[in-house]
């Protein structure tokens, strides 16, 4: 447990931003999906020296979720009659979260966003291993970033080719098991 | 293996004409095709000027032989693709490997809009036949089947640089020896979906657009389709054709700045143009003409202009945006302007940038505003910059 905050998803995301003392003004313009993915990546990479370790094109970013960008789609749809909001409109695609993370961390590597009914460790392992096998990346951030109204969840993994403390093997079984645990 | 790819034929349908000849005449006679909405029905946006193809779906179906029930994007695509193949002398019996790499951004959205109108009121209503070709790839498949192209079929959808990227994909496949011919380009029909989207972004001009003008207010949307048949040297022999041009440079870059805007410094545009020139082994002084992306939005024209200002500071080539003629045809625009770029080489003419009254104060260069004839044009740079910072540049050279 690194941080806990009761209240709405909106309150949680903003409080987490403050708690981790992040200074990135563009955060406040983001939709909830981007905020969630952005924060999860901050926590995942904090203290790892990631930027020093890898070149700009060496990091892959492979995310998935069940609700695509529906959370902001619904908010945007409400504005159409009264004057469609460009600020919301530009977030009405799920892969925008990949863009926001990439801009923050200067990633210019391979990336993809997939929409599944549920977390699929098999698919993620297969896809990410393909990127490694084709020598397109040297490390990968992958997993799940999903939000719809008050229901939100991010589960990210950093996959590297060298062993490190507390690391586990990148297998579908391990990913699925962790997904179950975190759910419980 | 590194073989050059030649342009063996072209075809186009746009707001300024239903074939190559009419497009060329309109360009030379300064005849723009943007005006009042006639074929699309949008109560919300009836007042916005648009660059429509002046043919109904029934007329397009009668000309092409496709069903009038398929998406308008497929009808437009088929029309321009057929002209390209005829123009190149390519026939179904040709045994060399032919690929069809077609771009679009709306797919069958026009039909989906019809479906949704009924479906949103009653979930048991609406014809499912109207949504089967919704996705972009389906439009390409429809046309590939109709033309009888089987060796390789693919769809590219990267916003406004889509068809520049399909051209560049085809050129690379020919260079790599994977295809002998590549029918490359793209199509997009005007839809409520795109009008609503661009309207939300507040980048549509309520009047006729004025690319690269100090007082530009935004873009006008258009529709159309355009293709080039790229061929290897071996393919040309089979066609008994002299090539009209060859593609010598291409590059794609992304400035990772914003979802729908280019960085004001024009980083992506700069990298795309520079990359294409490097690929072609050309210097700034070798470029005789730039067909600008020039949409008429504040953001595009300043970003593109800034990049040109840096890259060509030793001497500006002639340049113009042709979007004041056709409107911004989105997924088709890269191909529409590639065809225009090849026409400039072929005929030694440079098309004017219409409606440019007050040049942008930031730059010392001036786009061409009158038709120029008897130009010696060796190399043309064609720009297509899309949302997501997806910037592509192509270079066509005299063969």
The model's confidence at residue B388, banded by pLDDT at 50, 70 and 90, is confident
Distances (CA, A) of B304 to B6, B361, B377: 28, 14, 22
Residue of B210, B231, B232 whose CA lies nearest to B328: B210
The predicted structure's pLDDT at residue B387: 84
Question: Do B5-239 and B245-397 show the same overall fold?
Answer: yes
Phi, psi of B13 (to 5 degrees): -135, 130
Mean pLDDT of all residues belonging to chain A: 95
Contact at CB, B260 and A84, closer than 8 angstroms: no
B328 has catalytic annotation: yes
CATH number of B245-397: 3.40.47.10
Which residues on chain B place their C-beta less than 8 Å from a C-beta of chain A? 196-197, 199-202, 254, 256-260, 388
CB atoms within 10 A of CB B339: 27
The predicted structure's pLDDT at residue B261: 86
The ipTM of this complex is: 0.83
The predicted structure's pLDDT at residue B2: 58
pLDDT in tens, A154-174: 999 999 999 888 899 999 999
> Higher confidence at residue B321 or residue B94?
B321
Contacts 24+ apart (CB under 8 A), A53-56: A53/A139, A54/A138, A54/A139, A55/A138, A56/A106, A56/A107, A56/A108, A56/A109
Given a cut of 50, whether residue A14 has pLDDT beyond it is yes
Domain ranges across chain B: 5-239, 245-397
Given a cut of 60, whether residue B188 has pLDDT beyond it is yes
By three-state DSSP, how is residue B206 classified?
Answer: coil
CA distance B256 to chain A (A): 6
Q: Stretch B157-179: mean pLDDT, rounded?
A: 96
* Interface test with chain B among A84, A85, A98, A101, by most B beta carbons within 10 Å: A84
In chain B, residues with a C-beta closer than 8 Å to the C-beta of A86 are 200-202
Contact at CB, A86 and B200, closer than 8 angstroms: yes
Q: Stretch B8-29: mean pLDDT, rounded?
A: 98
CA distance A84 to chain B (A): 5
Q: What residue in A sits closest to B260 (Cα-Cα)?
A: A90
Measured CA to CA, the distance from residue B230 to residue B97 in angstroms comes to 12
* Interface test with chain A among B202, B253, B259, by most A beta carbons within 10 Å: B259
pLDDT in tens, B223-255: 999 999 999 999 999 998 899 899 999 999 988
Do B210 and B296 form a contact (C-beta atoms < 8 A)?
yes
Q: Stretch A57-63: mean pLDDT, rounded?
A: 97
Measured CA to CA, the distance from residue A103 to residue A27 in angstroms comes to 12
Strands (E), B94-164: 98-103, 152-156
Q: Stretch A117-132: mean pLDDT, rounded?
A: 98
| Active-site pick, B160, B209, B246, B391 | B160
Measured CA to CA, the distance from residue A146 to residue A167 in angstroms comes to 24
Domains in chain A with CATH codes? 9-183 (3.40.47.10)
In degrees, rounded to 5, the angle at the alpha carbon of residue B174 between the alpha carbons of residues B173 and B180 is: 120
Q: Compute chain A's Rg from CA coordinates.
A: 16
The predicted structure's pLDDT at residue A36: 98
Distances (CA, A) of A149 to A43, A89, A95, B51, B68: 22, 17, 18, 40, 42
Specify the pTM: 0.93
The predicted structure's pLDDT at residue B55: 97
pLDDT in tens, A78-100: 998 888 999 999 999 999 999 99
B38 has catalytic annotation: no
CATH number of B5-239: 3.40.47.10
Given a cut of 80, whether residue A111 has pLDDT beyond it is yes
Whats the size of chain A, residue-wise?
184
CA distance B8 to chain A (A): 35
pLDDT in tens, B65-119: 999 999 999 999 999 999 999 999 999 888 899 999 999 999 999 999 999 999 9
Measured CA to CA, the distance from residue A78 to residue B265 in angstroms comes to 35
Residues 6+ apart with CB under 8 A from B350: B289, B318, B320, B344, B368, B371, B372, B375, B377
In chain B, residues with a C-beta closer than 8 Å to the C-beta of A89 are 197, 200-201
Q: Stretch B329-342: mean pLDDT, rounded?
A: 98
Contact at CB, A96 and B259, closer than 8 angstroms: yes
Q: What residue in B sits closest to A107 (Cα-Cα)?
A: B256
The predicted structure's pLDDT at residue B94: 87
Q: Stretch B255-276: mean pLDDT, rounded?
A: 90
Contact at CB, B256 and A89, closer than 8 angstroms: no
Phi, psi of A158 (to 5 degrees): -105, 120
The model's confidence at residue B219, banded by pLDDT at 50, 70 and 90, is very high
Do B284 and B316 form a contact (C-beta atoms < 8 A)?
no
Phi, psi of B160 (to 5 degrees): -75, -5
Do A111 and A102 form a contact (C-beta atoms < 8 A)?
yes
In chain B, residues with a C-beta closer than 8 Å to the C-beta of A90 are 201, 258-260
The model's confidence at residue B1, banded by pLDDT at 50, 70 and 90, is very low
Within 13 Å and on the Cβ side, how many CA atoms surround B54? Answer: 13
Do A41 and A63 form a contact (C-beta atoms < 8 A)?
no
Measured CA to CA, the distance from residue A145 to residue A152 in angstroms comes to 8
The predicted structure's pLDDT at residue A126: 98
Look up residue B186 and give its two tokens: 């793209």
In chain A, residues with a C-beta closer than 8 Å to the C-beta of B259 are 90-91, 93, 96, 99
In this complex, which of B197, B202, B256 lies closest to A103 when CB atoms are compared? B256
Mean pLDDT of all residues belonging to chain B: 95
Q: In what order do the strands lie in the sheet with B245-254?
A: B152-156, B98-103, B181-188, B224-231, B5-13, B245-254, B390-397, B379-386, B289-291, B318-320
Q: Lowest mean pLDDT: which of A51-55, B41-45, B78-82, B130-134?
A: B41-45
Measured CA to CA, the distance from residue B126 to residue B166 in angstroms comes to 34
Q: What residue in B sits closest to A99 (Cα-Cα)?
A: B256
């Amino acid at each position: 447990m690194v941080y806990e905050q009761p209240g709405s998803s909106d309150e949680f995301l903003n409080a987490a931003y403050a708690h981790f003392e992040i200074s990135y003004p563009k955060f406040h313009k983001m939709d909830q999906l981007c905020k969630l993915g952005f924060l999860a990546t901050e926590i995942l990479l904090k203290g790892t020296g990631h930027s020093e370790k890898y070149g700009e094109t060496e990091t892959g970013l492979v995310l998935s979720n069940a609700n695509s960008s529906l959370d902001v789609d619904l908010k945007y749809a409400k504005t159409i009659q009264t004057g469609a909001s460009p600020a919301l409109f530009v977030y009405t695609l799920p892969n925008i979260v990949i863009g926001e993370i990439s801009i923050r961390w200067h990633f210019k590597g391979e990336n993809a966003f997939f929409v599944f009914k549920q977390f699929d460790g098999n698919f993620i392992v297969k896809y990410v291993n393909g990127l490694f096998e084709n020598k397109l990346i040297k490390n990968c951030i992958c997993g799940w970033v999903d939000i719809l109204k008050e229901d939100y969840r991010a589960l990210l993994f950093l996959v590297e080719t060298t062993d490190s403390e507390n690391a586990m093997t990148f297998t579908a079984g391990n990913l699925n098991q962790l997904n179950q645990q975190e759910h419980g | 293996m590194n073989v050059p790819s030649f342009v063996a034929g072209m075809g186009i349908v746009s707001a300024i004409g239903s074939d190559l000849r009419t497009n060329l005449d309109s360009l030379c006679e300064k005849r723009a095709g943007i005006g009042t909405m006639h074929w699309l029905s949008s109560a919300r946006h009836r007042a916005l000027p648009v660059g429509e193809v002046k043919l109904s779906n029934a007329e397009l179906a009668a000309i092409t032989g496709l069903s009038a029930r398929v998406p308008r994007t497929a009808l437009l695509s088929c029309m321009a693709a057929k002209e390209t193949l005829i123009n190149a002398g390519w026939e179904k019996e040709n045994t060399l490997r032919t690929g069809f790499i077609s771009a679009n951004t709306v797919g069958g959205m026009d039909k989906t809009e019809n479906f949704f109108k009924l479906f949103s009121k009653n979930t048991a209503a609406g014809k499912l036949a109207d949504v089967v070709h919704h996705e972009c790839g389906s439009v390409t498949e429809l046309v590939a089947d109709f033309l009888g192209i089987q060796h390789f079929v693919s769809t590219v959808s990267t916003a406004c640089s889509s068809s520049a990227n399909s051209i560049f994909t085809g050129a690379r496949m020919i260079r790599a020896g994977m295809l002998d011919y590549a029918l490359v380009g793209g199509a997009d029909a005007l839809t409520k979906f795109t009008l609503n989207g661009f309207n939300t972004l507040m980048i549509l001009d309520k009047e006729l657009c004025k690319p690269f003008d100090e007082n530009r207010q935004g873009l006008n949307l258009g529709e159309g389709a355009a293709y080039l048949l790229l061929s290897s040297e071996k393919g040309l022999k089979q066609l008994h054709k002299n090539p009209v041009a060859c593609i010598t440079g291409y590059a794609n870059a992304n400035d990772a700045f914003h979802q729908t805007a280019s960085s004001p410094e024009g980083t992506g545009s700069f990298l795309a143009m520079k990359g294409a020139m490097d690929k072609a082994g050309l210097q700034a002084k070798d470029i005789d003409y730039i067909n600008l992306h020039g949409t008429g939005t504040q953001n595009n024209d300043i970003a593109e202009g800034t990049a040109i200002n840096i890259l060509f500071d030793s001497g500006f080539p002639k340049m113009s945006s042709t979007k004041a003629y056709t409107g911004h045809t989105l997924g088709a625009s890269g191909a529409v302007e590639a065809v225009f770029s090849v026409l400039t080489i072929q005929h030694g003419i440079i098309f004017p940038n219409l409606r440019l009254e007050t040049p942008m104060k930031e730059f010392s260069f001036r786009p061409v505003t009158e038709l120029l004839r008897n130009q010696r044009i060796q190399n043309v740079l064609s720009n297509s910059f899309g949302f997501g910072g997806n910037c592509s540049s192509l270079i066509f050279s005299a063969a």
